[in-house]
Amino acid sequence: MNSNKIKKVLITGGSGFIGRHLVKDLLNKKNYKVFNVDKNGYASEINSQLNKIKDERYEFFQCDLIDKVRIKEIVFEIIPDLIINLAAETHVDRSIDKPEFFVINNVIGTLNLLEAVRNLYYKMSNEWQEKFIFYHAGTDEVYGSALENEYFNENSKYNPRSPYSTSKASSNFLVQSWFHTYKIPTLIGNCSNNFGPAQFPEKLIPLSIYKALNNQRIPLYGNGEAIRDWIYVKDHINAILKIIESGKTGESYCIGANNLRTNNQIVKNICEILDKKLNPRISYRNLISYVDDRPGHDKRYALEITKVKKDLEWEPIYPFKESLKLTVDWYIDNQLWCESKLIRANYNCERLGLNK
Ligand SMILES: NC(=O)c1ccc[n+]([C@@H]2O[C@H](COP(=O)([O-])OP(=O)(O)OC[C@H]3O[C@@H](n4cnc5c(N)ncnc54)[C@H](O)[C@@H]3O)[C@@H](O)[C@H]2O)c1
C-alpha cells in the first residue's frame, strides 16, 4: 500500500486503557484515520481528551458490539482497511461475579463484529481484500497458570481457568475459525499484563497506587506471590502495530516483556517510589495487607516471545523501573481523574470476585 495514503482503522474499545494509548499513537502517525467504536463502559474515558479530539482524522461511534445490526451498519459505513478489536470486559474479579455477562459481551460481541466483517469482505474488491486485516487483542491468560520454569508459546495448549480468560480464549477461537472457514485475514496477539498511565483503578498497579495515595490498605491476594509478566502499554502498542505490518495472517503471536515479577515485588516497588517522592512519616509499605486469595487464582503467567522477536524483529524497549515510576507519577498528578472515574463507575475500590 502507498504509505502516504490515509489508512482507515476501526478500533473497538478505543476508549479503554490500551485503546486510548493506541488512538493517540495512531493520530500522531498522520497517515491514519481512526474510528473508535466503544460502548462507553465503566472503564472508558468519556469526558476528557478523547472526546475533545478535534482532529478530522478521528471519529467516535458509541456502540455496543452486542448490537449486531448497528455494528454491521458502522462497518459498512466506514469500510475500514484495518480493524483492531480491543473491546472486552477485562477484569477477572468482575468476571467471577458476573460470568454470563462476560461470556455474552466478549464472545458474542466478537462474533457480531466478525460477522459484520464477513458480510463486508465478500462485497469488496480483490484489491481491498488483499490489504484488509482483522487484528484481535488476546491475553496470555488463555494458556492458564504456568508451572515454575514453564513458559508458554504460540503452540501451547489453551487452558483458561477464569470466566474472563475463558471468554477471551473463546473469542480467539472464533477469530481463528473466521480465518480458516471464511478466509478473513486475521491476526491474534496474546499479550501479558499491561501497565501505564490512565488505567481505571481496579487492577493491581493502579489500585495499589490509588489506595496508597488515599492512605487506605493496599490489598494483596493470598500470599502475594502470584507472578505476572508486566509490559508497558506502549510496548504492547508497538507490538500490535508490528504484527499488523509484518505478521502472517491466520497466526497468533505471544507478546510479553520477559519481566516476571510477583505481586509482592510490584507493590513494594510502588511503595518505594511513593516513599521517595512524597517522603511520608511512615512508609507506604505499612499499608500492605494480605487478603483472601482470588478463587482459582492463576499462580504464574510466563510467555516465550521468540516468535515475535525472530520473525517480526519486535522487542520491548521500555525499561520497567522508569516506566513504573512514570506511571506512579501520572497517578500522583491525576488524582481528580481517578476520583471522577470511580464516581462515574459507582465503584469505591471495594473487593470484588470473592464468589460469596
Ligand atoms: N490490560 C491488560 O493487561 C491486557 C492484557 C492482555 C490483553 N488485553 C486485552 O486488550 C483489550 C483492551 O484491554 P484494556 O486493558 O484496554 O481494557 P479496558 O477495560 O480498559 O477497556 C475496554 C474497553 O472496551 C469497551 N468495551 C467492552 N465491551 C464492549 C462492547 N461489547 N462493545 C463496545 N465496547 C466495549 C469498554 O467500554 C472499554 O472502553 C481487551 O481485549 C483485553 O482483553 C488487556
3-state secondary structure of 180: helix
User: Mean of the pLDDT values across residues 51-75?
Assistant: 90
Confidence band, pLDDT 50/70/90 cuts, at residue 54: low
pLDDT digits (tens, 9 = 90+) for 137-154: 999 999 999 999 999 999
The strand ranges marked E within the chain are: 7-12, 32-38, 58-62, 82-85, 133-139, 186-191, 194-195, 218-221, 227-229, 231-232, 252-255, 260-262, 288-291
User: Which residue, judged by its Cα, is nearest atom 27 of ligand 1?
Assistant: 88
Tens-digit pLDDT profile for residues 257-312: 999 999 999 999 999 999 999 999 999 999 999 999 999 999 999 999 999 999 99
190 lines ligand 1 (CB under 6 A): no
**Strands 227-229 and 260-262, sheet pairing:** antiparallel
Task: Give the closest residue to 256 by CA, choosing from 173, 311, 314.
Answer: 314
Mean pLDDT over 310-323 rounds to: 98
CB distance 109 to 115 below 8 Å: no
pLDDT-based confidence at residue 1 (cuts at 50, 70, 90): very low
C-alpha cell of residue 215: 492512605
Q: What is the mean pLDDT of the chain?
A: 96
| Whether 339 is catalytic | no
Please confirm, yes or no, whether 229 is among the known catalytic residues: no
pLDDT band at residue 356 using 50, 70 and 90 as cut-offs: low
Residue 205: CA count within 13 A, CB half-sphere:
29
Strand pairing report for 194-195 and 58-62: unpaired
Question: Greater confidence, 50 or 337?
Answer: 337
Tell me phi and psi for residue 241, to 5 degrees.
-65, -35
> Among the atoms of ligand 1, which is closest to the Cα of residue 15?
39
CATH 3.40.640.10 fits 7-195+230-260+297-318, yes or no: no
Give the up-direction half-sphere exposure of residue 61: CA atoms within 13 A in the CB hemisphere. Answer: 21
Q: 320-329 pLDDT, tens per residue?
A: 999 999 999 9
11 lines ligand 1 (CB under 6 A): no
Please report, rounded to a whole number, the percentage of residues in the chain having pLDDT higher than 70.
Answer: 96
* % the chain with pLDDT above 90: 95
The number of angstroms, rounded, from the C-alpha of 28 to the middle of its chain's C-alpha atoms is 20
Q: Where are the domains of the chain?
A: 7-195+230-260+297-318
The per-residue pLDDT for 56 is 86
195 close to ligand 1 (CB < 6 Angstrom): no
Which residue's entry shows cell 484488509?
A: 132
